A and B are shown apart, each in its own frame.
Chain A
């Protein structure tokens, strides 16, 4: 998911490097913990009657909803107010940005 992270941290606003980095890390993490199956492909510990694998995927969805909401809040700090112009960093940056 390197492509998303580099886009994220470079595109909208270079003026908020920390916030951008946090957004990038959250996005990569939230995808990673869903896609990296060895992490949760186990039958135990059972939660109630649910094998861990199924419990994990179900409980992970509200977690993602919350993380998405946090990302959203952070992004609102990055994006310019409605109708306003944006910095020059928004698009058409250098080569290789998305190539990886």
Chain B
């Protein structure tokens, strides 16, 4: 703790304490008659309106990792690997507007808590539902771990942490922060991140608005910022002997990479279980639709966050600091703030990033826990679990998930978590056909979907493993060459997945393989039940 700025540090600690109190107080917010219902703990009683949902979904989808990693990618390699995120968060909403309202309606009608509940009901297939649950849990784990990377970046720049070489001792502050998070999530469930999201988003907005107007005046204006970015990206890297990155994608391959990354990521984002959890926690169908039109406002902010990467390149002190820290681009934004903002404001900005990590981490842990409880524990081990037991299992599972993510973050090398998160995107995209197509048609055969899913997962994982650069031998990125074109692996795996699902469906139908029972009715996909759902999740009586 040598060169800690105590003003910054104190502000971060105070904000963290406020957030902690809020997290515990959230249990009393919109108090439920019985908190020991999975609907209450895991979905906030399905009671949130437009206003709360906007904050919750915003807090859910724009994570600390976004604030750190997107500008870091822009800082390192420019438009294709970094700025595509802006394009992708633009198109995610018109696409989601097509299917999320249907998901909401069917889940509300049948009281589904997780997306895998829907798969189970739609296809009458435990195997398919299990495939989705496992994909969801596995893809979320590195995502939660990456939230910690965001916190670590801030802590590193603040100089907090002991200089011990033992990673557990070194990361004590991280452990404390995450333990507190785990406890209030356990107590308050989804209400905690929903309430904290207000604080988070307010801080993030203030931080970004100030950064966008103030930082350019300190470092020579936007013209200089873009010029510095362009110069850095054009420069030839001594390691790869290629330019550092792409400022504007003008070649065919860089454009295709940009487009497929944007499209693939957009399709993946809304099938992530934590996104579904946010969606299912809303009170009315309208609220989902309205939020899909309101959330693009968030993306505008992301656009400016991405540009922080160029601002960091334009600030010589930041560039030097990053270099001194071993060239870790994740530190670019925290260093930029620390250098240019007065220490009290740096404190607020750092708090924004830390809380920005806690909110999505809580929602992701809840989503994973619900998947485990509903689609693994209850489905395969204890079909007669009472709602009370379900909730209890879910609460503990959320703890386990968080501790797992913590070990993940501390034990594994950081680059490994980042690669796993890229892989997570590829993995989760493969559940798109069963889930989203399933919302519209029952034409696909359940086993064909399962086979397509498996093929997509295997192809995607192997393809991602084979990506190499001169500096890294494996897992070096998420695009590769398909038939001479640079394409996002997730998208090519997705296409393979769909093709196999179609062909096998035709075969299985011709062979009259049993299709399984469908418990949903067409009208239920557009229903908007006004009354509160039954307190007991799907089909389980409460004796």
Within the complex, which residue of B248, B300, B307, B529 is in contact with A61, where a contact is CB–CB below 8 Å? B300
| Residues 298-320 (chain B) with a chain A CB within 8 angstroms | 299-300, 303-304, 307
Pair A68/B98 contact, Cβ less than 8 Å: no
Is B525's CB under 8 angstroms from A37's CB? no
Give the residues in chain B near A18, CB-CB below 8 Å.
Answer: none
Partner of B527, one of A41, A58, A83: A83
The reply to whether A72 and B293 form a contact with Cβ atoms under 8 Å apart is yes
Is the CB of B198 closer than 8 A to any CB of chain A? no
Contact B523–A57 (Cβ < 8 Å): no
Q: Please provide the chain A residues from 44 to 100 with a CB less than 8 Å away from any CB of chain B in the complex.
A: 48-51, 53-54, 57-58, 60-62, 64-65, 67-69, 71-72, 75-76, 79-80, 82-83, 85-86, 88-99
Q: Is the CB of A53 within 8 A of B300?
A: no
Task: Determine how close the nearest CB of chain B comes to the CB of A66; give it in whole angstroms.
Answer: 9
Chain A window 14-29, contacts with chain B (Cβ cutoff 8 Å), 1 for yes, 0 for no? 0000000000001100
Is the C-beta of B443 less than 8 angstroms from some C-beta in chain A? yes
> By the criterion CB–CB under 8 Å, are A92 and B441 in contact?
yes
Number of residue pairs A-B, CB distance < 8 angstroms: 160
Q: Would you call B442 and A92 a contact (CB within 8 A)?
A: yes
Smallest CB-CB separation from B501: which chain A residue? A99
Cα distance A69–B297 when bound, in Å?
12
Measured between beta carbons, the chain B residues less than 8 angstroms from A64 are: 90-91, 93-94, 296, 299
Query: Is there contact, CB below 8 Å, between B527 and A53?
Result: no
Report chain A residues within 8 Å CB of B528. Answer: 79, 82-83
Identify which of B221, B293, B444, B518 gathers the most chain A CB atoms within 10 Å of its CB: B293
1/0 contact string of B70-113 vs chain A (CB within 8 Å): 00000000010001001100110111011101000000000000
Taking CB as reference atom, which chain A residue is nearest B509?
A95
- Complex Cα–Cα for A31 and B263 (A): 9
Which chain B residues border A42 with CB–CB below 8 Å? 248, 250
Could you say which of B90, B95, B443 contacts A4, with CB atoms under 8 Å apart?
B95
Interface residue? B205 (CB, 8 A): no
Chain A residues lying within 8 Å of B99, measured Cβ to Cβ, are 7
Q: Report yes or no: B259 in contact with A35, Cβ–Cβ below 8 A.
A: yes
Q: Is the CB of B79 within 8 A of A58?
A: no
* A61-B90, A72-B293, A98-B443 known; A90-B525 Cβ under 8 A: yes
Q: What residues on B are CB-neighbors of A60 within 8 Å?
A: 90
- The 8 Å CB contact of A49, one of B223, B259, B520, B526, is B223
**B226 and A54 within 8 A (CB):** yes
Whole-angstrom distance between the Cβ of A50 and the nearest chain B Cβ: 6
Question: CB < 8 Å: which of A4, A7, A51, A82 contacts B248?
Answer: A51
A29 to B102, CA, bound (A): 22
State the CA gap A96–B443 with chains docked (Å): 8
Asked whether, in the complex, the Cβ of B440 is within 8 Å of the Cβ of A41, the reply is no
CB-defined interface of B511-536 with A at 8 Å, one 1/0 digit per residue? 00000001010110111111000000
Chain A interface category by residue count:
35 or more
Known: A35-B262, A92-B522. A68 touches B91 (CB 8 A): no
Judge whether B248 and A94 touch: CB under 8 Å: no
Measured between alpha carbons, how far is A68 from B221 in the docked complex, in Å? Answer: 33
Q: From the candidates A68, A79, A83, A92, name the one contacting B94 in the complex (CB within 8 A).
A: A68
Q: A4-B95, A58-B300, A61-B90 are in contact. Are A41 and B248 (CB under 8 A)?
A: yes
Tell me the nearest residue of chain B to A7, going by C-beta: B440
Q: Could you tell me the distance between the alpha carbons of A65 and B300 in the complex, rounded to whole angstroms?
A: 10
Of B225, B297, B502, the residue contacting A65 (CB under 8 A) is B297
The count of residues in chain B whose C-beta lies closer than 8 Å to any C-beta of chain A is 60
Q: Is B126 an interface residue (CB 8 A)?
A: no
Q: What separation, in Å, do the CA atoms of A42 and B189 have in the docked complex?
A: 47
Q: How far is the CB of A63 from chain B (nearest CB, A)?
A: 9
Contact B294 A7 (CB under 8 A): no
| Any A CB within 8 A of the CB of B290 | yes
Of A37, A62, A65, A91, which contacts B441 at CB under 8 A?
Answer: A91
**Which of B249, B292, B522, B528 has the largest number of chain A CB atoms within 10 A?**
B522
Q: Does B222 contact A (CB under 8 A)?
A: yes
* CB-CB nearest in chain B for A30: B94
Chain A residues near B22 (CB, 8 Å)?
none
On whether the beta carbons of B94 and A85 are closer than 8 Å, the reply is no
- Residues of B near A83 (CB, < 8 A) are 527-530
Name the residue among B95, B248, B437, B444 with the largest chain A CB count within 10 angstroms.
B248
Q: B258: CB under 8 A from chain A?
A: yes
Q: Which residues of A contact B294 (CB under 8 A)?
A: 65
Q: Which residues of A contact B95 (CB under 8 A)?
A: 4, 27, 31
Name which residue of chain B comes closest to A28, CB basis: B94
How many Å from the CB of B19 to the closest CB on chain A?
29
> In the complex, which residue of chain B has the Cβ closest to the Cβ of A48?
B222
* Chain B residues within an 8 Å CB radius of A31: 91, 94-95, 263
Separation of A44 and B99 alpha carbons in the complex (Å): 37
B388 within 8 A of A: no
Question: Do A61 and B97 touch (CB < 8 A)?
Answer: no
Give, as a whole number of angstroms, the nearest-CB distance from A79 to chain B: 6
Q: For residue A96, which residues in chain B have a CB less than 8 angstroms away from its CB? A: 443
Q: Is B170 positioned at the interface, with any CB of A under 8 Å from its CB?
A: no
B255 contacts chain A at the CB level, 8 A cutoff: yes
Instruction: Indicate whether A90 sits within 8 Å of B526 (C-beta atoms), given known contacts A35-B262, A61-B300.
Output: yes
Q: Is B289 on the interface with A (CB-CB < 8 A)?
A: yes
- Jot down 26 A-B pairs with beta carbons below 8 A, ordered by A: A7-B440, A35-B259, A38-B255, A42-B250, A49-B221, A49-B223, A49-B225, A50-B226, A53-B248, A61-B296, A61-B297, A62-B296, A62-B297, A62-B300, A65-B293, A65-B294, A65-B296, A68-B93, A82-B284, A92-B522, A94-B443, A96-B443, A98-B440, A98-B441, A99-B443, A99-B502
13 additional A-B residue pairs with CB within 8 Å, beyond A35-B259, A57-B303, A64-B91: A8-B98, A27-B95, A34-B262, A35-B91, A41-B255, A58-B86, A79-B528, A82-B284, A82-B285, A89-B522, A91-B439, A97-B440, A98-B437
Task: Give 3 nearest A-B pairs by CB, closest first.
Answer: A49-B222, A49-B223, A68-B293
